[in-house]
Structure 1
């Protein structure tokens, strides 16, 4: 069966540890109408989509390092993400989506980038994400009410710790 999508992927080559890996699946009929996605790192890819109004939308596919990663790799990731976002022209729309491997918590009174629908307590990756969002005026998806099961991607096996 022939796929109706073209896959653009950036990750470590075969034979290396399979850390990271990001991509976009784009319908064949749209591939010629967009700029092909740019693989920035194995954790960050950018897609630029022209809009009808003559403007563009930049979409970032993100897979952040986990809490078990080295501090150096986490800081390098956030620096690359910060630089990538800063390079998007101000007149372009921007969406950053993916797995940030972060828990941002519920302190919406402290963080203007955080809505009322966060859960749990902030972790160190969440703090880095909130700081970045505050610096560059981005908001998190915690402004939207969702079912609890849609707010997390992983729950600790003993169910006492939601990640």
Structure 2
């Protein structure tokens, strides 16, 4: 309701902790963790329903800190939106390095012709 109030079509959220996969419409949310797994972080995309119907694939959770969404702009043009929630300075260096390695892997897989939004 808050997004509609401010006329926002897509937002990138961090620190979400919804269970499994689904949509905010049915209160499940899109998350990178499964039921029973510990949730210390999370990212997600609340999206207006008219945009959801245009998606060829659901947003893809890469991890609890990285999620991607490919949005069609026109016939052969796409935008890739990546929602990230980087580990803070209090996390071990190994966690931070693993996060940035995974993000680099995701970025390398995006076609150069796509518009890219890293949020």
TM-score, normalised to structure 2, is 0.70
CA contact (8 A) 2:77 2:113 kept: yes
Looking at structure 1, the residues matched to 70 and 91 of structure 2 have their Cα atoms a distance apart, in angstroms, of 29
**Over 4 Å off, 4+ runs:** 13-16
Deviation at 1:14, TM superposition (A): 5.2
**Given the alignment of the two structures, is residue 27 of structure 1 paired with residue 48 of structure 2, yes or no?**
yes
Change (3 A) 1:11 1:19: farther
The CA deviation string for residues 65-113 of structure 1, in whole angstroms up to 9 with x for no partner, is: 111111111000000000101100111110100xxxxxxxxxxxxxxxx
CA contact (8 A) 1:11 1:20 kept: no
Deviation at 1:49, TM superposition (A): 0.4
RMSD: 2.2
User: SS at the partner of 1:65?
Assistant: coil
**Residue aligning to 1:10:** 31
**Residue aligning to 1:83:** 105
| Structure with the greater alpha carbon radius of gyration | 1
Deviation at 1:10, TM superposition (A): 1.2
Please, which runs of 5 or more residues in structure 2 have no aligned partner?
A: 10-22
Deviation at 1:17, TM superposition (A): 3.7
CA contact (8 A) 1:48 1:57 kept: yes
TM-score, normalised to structure 1, is 0.52
Looking at structure 1, the residues matched to 30 and 61 of structure 2 have their Cα atoms a distance apart, in angstroms, of 7
Count how many residue pairs are aligned between Structure 1 and Structure 2.
95
Higher RCO (C-alpha under 8 Å, 6+ residues apart): 2
